[in-house]
Amino acid sequence: MMDQKANGEIPLDISTRLSFDRTRLSYDRTMMSWIRTATSLISFGFSIYKFFEIERGKGEARSHFIGHREFALIMISMGLLSLLLATVQHRHDRNGLRAIDPEVPRSMAALLAGLIAILGILALLAVIVQG
């Protein structure tokens, strides 16, 4: 008890601890929702690009204001940007929790976000290089 007061830490009662855990898990669920959204944007953009690459080989090329390549670049970039912004917000929220309790466990959602970001960057590079 003396060590906790010396370090400035206040022990949390059980209801406060459970509320704290619910908040932490809520932040993780929100991050997972953003990961799903970013994954959808990235995969949809890349799928549209590949679909029209196949279709272009079958027929004549059409001139549009925004072609399939530009559309794919926009969609993949939006997915990566949303993932970046969600990760920054998630980190900010988790740091707020860490200020209350330094023993907050690492977020597996943030790790998954990093892996999806790598996937998105590879998809973006594939569209840029093949274009």
pLDDT at 50 over 80: yes
Residue 118 to residue 122: CA distance in whole angstroms: 6
Cα-based distances in Å from 107 to 33, 53, 104, 115, 117: 14, 38, 9, 13, 16
Residue 125: φ, ψ to 5°: -65, -40
pLDDT at 14: 87
Q: Is the pLDDT of residue 5 over 50?
A: no
Residue 11 predicted with pLDDT over 80: no
The pTM assigned to this predicted structure is: 0.81
Asked if residue 3 has pLDDT above 60, the reply is no
Tens digit of each residue's pLDDT (9 = 90 or more) over 69-105: 899 999 999 999 999 999 999 999 999 999 988 888 8
